[in-house]
Structure 1
């Protein structure tokens, strides 16, 4: 028993010492390495920027403590705020349980054990805290009472936080970002039958569920054929070429004597299978071929081959949510109807799956998870039987038994440190393994996939790392006890006299030090997370010993996504372990409380300054967390029932525990009825006055939102990536490369979605079309100073993976922004012009002589103003932003800067000519020259349009010989820098 105490003390000393050392290193390194310790603060816009932190050693502590929950919601989003709230809830629960466990259960164990065990003075203090020596005592009634108290404490905190989550969700629904987003008032329909796969069919299906009095704007999905695979192959080929060139051109002044080779792809039938060819030439040709194939497939996509999913967008959020609520129990013709997520949250390749295919994919995924679970049983059993208690190994290995008795202190340290470390090392890779398994499980959104990953990991941990671990440890303890007892009697008699229930409980008590040691090492893990040791070490190692590409270096400087599924699973598992061993070794409650107390601050710093939320779900993790906490409370009751059955004085103790599972289920049912609908729906159409929740008339969304474009498959419009090469090797490219990779040249119109494409624009001359393929630069040259995420955070290939959908930088993808006439932000960060009055059906137009465009009041355009026939791949706003980002580091032109994109632009139609701005010239603020337009009769070329030669209301409409006089390009092209 002294061996167990020494093991615990060794683990405690190692954990505290290492944690303090790592924390001190973080405090010293943080002020001088913002790329690692504050990347989020470097790139966030003003609204999402965290509180400023000084250069002092402990200056980071104050903002972490003083930042309140509402500020967290505004700065880092609801998912991050909910994570911190959940961490604090766990901290508060285990604080109360620690007081009860250490203040009530431990004294009862000590007093009752002293009266029941004759040699109690020889027992170690660590084991006196357990109920191991109070067999048959009536004091076990205190454990029955504690079971009820524990459940009451857990349910109280769950209820209290459920109400808080409802308030956060309601505030989220009322937030300006949600109110202005397209997904908030859009429905996603899947499993649409063949006969209804049209826009009109979607409208009919929604009306069959509930008719809110408004016809939604519908868009059926179209078959993108093999475009996703082609785009994926193209990205892989570009990245392979970048990697090859980075290694080959690592030292431009001393190139290797042999050019690199590459094995041909399996899908490439132009070469023999497995043949090796010149890597640069092969990848160059493959990129060119894939680009041409992608262009051909994009041009062939149309609506004739519709897919079994689509979208329906309403003018008001209330209508969309009322229909979604009504569709919970209705499935017209087998169609599943739910609220649409954000576009970048969708897993596009899973949307066309039918119910049978989705069930099959989930079945295959469950088979893989089951196989992983079974395979892990073997190393888990070895850890449970031998590493968690080295004395078991000594019983089957006499030579080791001798060593164990010779050096007990040394082996106690090994048991307290090595065994938990091996377990933790395997846990580090589990989230990635489960996420990879869940990629093809049929989930339609990334956030739902993350919740399923968390669910599967938690089930795996509970089965393998708790039940199997504890069960096999107990069975081995029973076997060794039987072997020891059978020396004087038959084996069967020894088994009959073994009292298996008591042996299981006794073995679980002896295993408890292992779990305490493991939780202590998790405190060390929290400090390692704060230090960002892995990212810091990997970044330094890759720069020094590897040949990272410019793209990889840019990604290294970006804020990394926070692994909610992994951390939630760890927190739930820690809580489950603590509840299962709370009465067997109450000291585990104190260790768990210390962990959550420490992590509630450390994770808060990481979410404020280091990590981002890759896909914001709006707090949808809560229901999964709530259900798991109910389960772990039930599991704790089962252990108490096992304890009183094995060592209690009467069966009445077990009967008294019987109502607890039913009370927990009743509490779960109450919370579901009282809170779930308020968390899930903006309004259900009953009990809530829709007039109070409806958007004011002046801010109603128009039907020109183009739901088919916003929720169109990204492969239809997402620009193809260009190979990046370091500027130091630029002079060698012409001699080693003979291809082109200019993006999507001459993509004018594809299957009626011409607003998706834009012509390539010259970066040096904003507003002008870039040169053709032969003259276009084949590479994107990146200088040393540009290898920073700051220069590329609005590029689709970087923003989609590391930008949180653009929200962190003030550019959410489906935000419908007021103040910019007839324009909206697209997924690739460009600004598109549209007529909100005439882009849809004829019913969309207004009967008044002037049409309000956009959301903001006061933005008026003449009737008949419509979209430009030719659009570009990159807008002037994006080009100006690229130049600004290259010259002015840290400036973010999001938010209000984009709202004034057309400030001072040419007048429209019959609108009056504005008066000159005093002191700024006729061109208006910003240093622009006078606007040159097509002039009325009598004025030659080169004349300047001024209030003197064109009066207000003269009926003049600008125009040229080459482009439509109301086009978006026309009104932007006249602005020339002085």
Structure 2
């Protein structure tokens, strides 16, 4: 038996002749190098934010300036760090009132994680760290202990049966040749149960709290969305507003207030899109004609140029002639711009013409066509938005089965009117399904493609792998510890982090191509897709398969023996503890301050400013950046899973410590952005919470699988086997969660709905001293949803939106503040002159 052990060790030595620089026992240099890099990045970004924040309020206080719901938030001081205590004191009620349910749920996940891992961190440091230090090798910087037993090394290299190796070692223990210490592993089993129960307790408790808040919030408001259902699968014989109304009222659910039957508005939407493009081209042509200096003069009072008053009058008279006639004589800074048009057979002939006249004429024709197109009747589709007279009627409709035929007359909650993607409402269901399948298949192919860069990065973690490819580089890294740490730890963590930043943009595009009806559904899809990439490619592939050369052999072994994945996952998790510590450290200390800085917006602003020519372009620059949960939530979920997976292992206290830092920094970073800097126009009403919970339960399953493998690999089969029942119990809880809690995160309970008359009852109760239980009072103030849905209707904007007029007002002044104009008010205050409009500014007329 001893000969077999020696042979196995010799094979391992031949395969890897140099130590692994990411061994958790040799991670001192790697950790300190990563800490220095992260602090350098984080401190510089945070300092830059603190300096720029009071000077660039159009970016860092954009939401506070532009969104009415944020106006009630406390003002942040302009001092370097004075904003921090004010932000800290912003309550959850203020978050709910200002940013809505989606922001509240997102921040609640971070707050729950802080509480959970705070408790686990204390227990780990108090109990598990001493146990690991006495019986196992606990991870500490510079702790150079002996490597794991040979079976672990051979398993990492693949090609050996884990059960055979362990049974051989067990037989050796019986023969007295090897006596492993396994009694302490019962503590691993106990804490696996305890941490699983603690996590489920926090998930359940937070779910109950969110349900209560959500039911009270939605039940005490009254918006058109709360009273509207999306009716799909409408048969041809019912495709008219009158028949749909008659059908629903016969069910005696409630009265129908209005019906919007979606029709094939493809041509009208195309005309509106073409008109928007033409209008922008016309505005660009006018700005080019006016010239930069003349455009600025047009935004200022003529009193600063009294000597040119007569010339200005003459110029305006001549320009009026130009707009109405053929004379193009002008005193503007630049000549009138031209554009090339194509005509003739197959558009093979072209000529240059006056751009302003061309776009004005095209705009005039489009306006006439659009006005006529709005009066036409279009082919109805199987989709309609039905507004009921009350919220209870709407909720009863969506929680009932309306028709005995499958996929026919399905009632679902309608998205907010501003959230609907109208171009997808007239897409056939078969087309949406086809798009969904194509995107799904494409994502699966992308998943295989990501194996190449991810496996390459995993190869950098092992000096032996680098030696196989480039022996000279491996020798250099082996002789320079700092350089080795930069290549083997700093570079992979940075590239993986950059992948987590870049890939969501691709998946966001793919989600938008699936043809979903609302932007809220698109965002939930982005969360799902990005988490799949993060969890599968960054965690499972990176951890289980290591490099591309090991992918196929391990996959073949796992098909023959399902336990291979568990053992491989357990061994790799132990070996990659140092990498994931540095990864979470970079995410928390190094990169979260860059999110606060809004580095992307800051770096792109000069480019966007240079390419923005018209007042409309400049006004769009002043809009708050869009906050997308699909870009930020998957990374936080991965950090949560890593904290759970490593909580009991020797490296657990370090992973938990940097994980706590991540969730604390992330909570206040995103709290600032959601309240003051960025806008979230989607209307998901907190529906991301069940998605979060299911992925946390998936993480618990991985945690239990890893712990079972870790304990079994240390030859303690009974403690390891006792962990396995936790996996089916977690699966059962996920089904229990879906049946018990998820419906309350989707619907409004009828008992939670307060009618308008309840408000008067509550006031009377307060007057006579009656105190109702908490949550039974109707909110007296207007909610965020009520404010932003005031006056909205479920009508395609192409049918009713006012046609935008030419926008040639002043550009940003020297202070950098961009004036934002209400387009309808501007149109009402303009004087029509042909197809161009003169905007009034300080009593003067400017073209």
Please tell me whether the aligned partners of residues 435 and 453 of structure 1 are also in contact (alpha carbons under 8 angstroms).
yes
Residue 302 of structure 1 corresponds to: 377
Higher-helix-fraction structure:
2
Separation in 2, partners of 1:75, 1:590: 32
Taking the aligned partners of 2:512 and 2:565, their CA distance within structure 1 comes to 43
1:211 — aligned with what? 252
Cα shift at 1:51: 0.7
Aligned with residue 604 of structure 2, among 538, 560, 565: 538
User: For residues 103 and 42 of structure 2, what CA distance do their matches in structure 1 show?
Assistant: 24
Decide whether the 8 Å contact of 1:553 with 1:787 is kept in 2: no
Q: Confirm or deny that 1:345 pairs with 2:419.
A: yes
Structure 1 pair 213/171, CA: closer, same or farther in 2 (3 Å)? closer
Report the 3-state secondary structure (helix = DSSP H, G, I; strand = E; otherwise coil) of the residue aligned with 1:76.
helix
User: CA shift at 1:68, angstroms?
Assistant: 0.8
Q: Aligned pair 1:63/2:86, yes or no?
A: yes
Rounded Cα–Cα distance in structure 2 between residues aligned with 1:187 and 1:547? 41
Aligned residue in 2 for 1:904: none
Following superposition, the deviation at residue 259 of structure 1 comes to 5.5
Relative to structure 1, the CA distance from residue 151 to residue 246 in structure 2 (aligned partners, 3 Å threshold; closer, same or farther) is farther
* 1:272 to 2:292 alignment: no
Map 1:534-683; keep pairs closer than 5 Å.
Answer: 534-543=600-609, 546=611, 548-584=613-649, 585-586=651-652, 587-650=654-717, 652-683=718-749
Q: Which of residues 500, 513, 516 is equivalent to 1:443?
A: 516
Matched, 1:320 2:394: yes
1:397 aligned to 2:499? no
Residues 504 and 530, structure 2, Cα contact 8 Å, conserved in 1: yes
Q: 1:60 to 1:400 in 2, by over 3 A?
A: same
Aligned to 2:231, which of 171, 189, 197? Answer: 189
Cα distance, 1:548 vs structure 2: 4.2
Shift of 1:279: 8.7
- Distance in structure 1 (CA, Å) of the matches to 2:796 and 2:49: 43
Structure 1 residues 850-929: aligned runs within 5 Å: none
Q: Which residue of 2 aligns with 1:410?
A: 483
Partner residue in 1 for 2:273: 232
SS in 2 for 1:568: helix
Cα distance between partner residues in 1 of 2:820 and 2:366: 24
TM-score (ref. length: structure 2): 0.75
Q: Distance in 2 between matches of 1:273 and 1:787?
A: 49
C-alpha offsets along residues 326-368 of structure 1, whole Å, 9 cap, x if unaligned? 1489668712211222111112122233432222121011122
CA distance in 2, matches of 1:434, 1:168: 31
TM-score (norm 1): 0.66
Change in 2 beyond 3 A, CA 1:399/1:689: closer
Report the equivalent of 1:710: 793
Please state whether the residue corresponding to 1:719 is helix, strand or coil.
coil
How far does residue 238 in structure 1 lie from its aligned partner after superposition?
3.2
SS of equivalent residue, structure 1 residue 31: coil
CA distance in 2, matches of 1:142, 1:269: 84
Whether the 8 Å contact between 1:477 and 1:503 is mirrored in structure 2 is no
> Distance between the aligned counterparts of 1:784 and 1:430, measured in 2?
35
Partner of 2:784: none
Question: Would you say the 8 A contact 2:135–2:184 is kept in 1?
Answer: yes
CA contact (8 A) 1:786 1:886 kept: no
Report how many residues are paired. 712
Matched, 1:527 2:593: yes
Q: Distance in 1 between matches of 2:27 and 2:839?
A: 64
User: For 1:873-932, what per-residue CA distance to the aligned partner results, in whole angstroms no more than 9, with x for missing partners?
Assistant: 9699xxxxxx999889xxxxxxxxxxxxxxxxxxxxxxxxxxxxxxxxxxxxxxxxxxxx
Q: Superposed, which structure 2 residues align to 1:102-501 within 5 Å? A: 102-113=125-136, 123-124=143-144, 137-175=182-220, 178-179=221-222, 181-207=223-249, 210-242=251-283, 251=292, 272=347, 280=355, 283=359, 286-299=362-375, 301-302=376-377, 305-327=379-401, 334-386=408-460, 388-473=461-546
Q: How far is the alpha carbon of 1:668 from its aligned partner?
A: 3.0
Secondary structure of 2:531 counterpart: helix
Q: Structure 1, residues 151-205: CA drift from partner, whole Å, max 9, x if none?
A: 1121111111111111211221244xx31x2121121112211111012321344
Change in 2 beyond 3 A, CA 1:477/1:698: closer
RCO greater where, 1 or 2, for CA within 8 Å and sep 6 or more?
Answer: 2
The CA deviation string for residues 585-637 of structure 1, in whole angstroms up to 9 with x for no partner, is 31212211111011111211122210112123221211111111111111211
Contact 1:381 1:468 in 2 (8 A): yes
Give structure 2 stretches of 5+ with no counterpart: 1-22, 154-178, 295-331, 762-788, 831-837
Deviates more, 1:316-325 or 1:166-175: 166-175
Q: What secondary structure sits across from 1:149 in the alignment?
A: helix
Q: Deviations over 1:828-874 (max 9, x none)?
A: 799xxxxxxxxxxxxxxxxxxxxxxxxxxxxxxxxxxxxxxxxxx96
Aligned to 1:973: none
Give the distance between the partners of 2:146 and 2:283, measured in 1 at CA: 59
> For 2:399, what is the secondary structure of its paired residue?
helix
Task: Tell me the distance in 2 between the aligned counterparts of 1:251 and 1:440.
Answer: 39
CA distance in 2, matches of 1:50, 1:77: 13
Q: Secondary structure at 2:660's aligned position in 1? A: helix
Residue pair 1:791, 1:886 contacting (<8 A) in 2 also = no
Instruction: Mark the CA change 1:215 to 1:612 in structure 2 (over 3 Å): closer, same or farther.
Output: closer
| RMSD over aligned Cα atoms | 4.2
